[in-house]
């Protein structure tokens, strides 16, 4: 898999800081992404993005 700009994508994990609307920031660790070696863009798989969204909603609701 390659980035739109031709860079090689490498699988890695990142810490993802999200905000849901005006809610609290939620930090999710160990999020699997593919990062472009050339431009640094990070690509989230659809299912990962969905899970992140659920986590952020849950984290926001509990505070």
Q: Which residues bind Zn ion (CB under 5 A)?
A: 3, 5, 7, 36, 38-39, 41
Of residues 42 and 52, the one with the C-beta less far from Zn ion: 42
| Least gap, CB of 45 to Zn ion (angstroms) | 17
Of residues 35 and 56, the one with the C-beta less far from Zn ion: 35
Of residues 21 and 40, the one with the C-beta less far from Zn ion: 40
Please state, in angstroms and rounded to a whole number, the distance separating the CA atoms of residues 42 and 48: 12
């Amino acid at each position: 898999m390659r980035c739109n700009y031709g860079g090689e994508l490498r699988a890695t994990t990142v810490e993802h800081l999200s905000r849901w609307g005006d809610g609290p920031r939620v930090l999710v660790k160990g999020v699997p992404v593919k990062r472009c070696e050339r431009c640094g863009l990070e690509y989230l798989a659809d299912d990962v993005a969905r899970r992140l969204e659920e986590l952020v909603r849950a984290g926001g609701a509990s505070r």
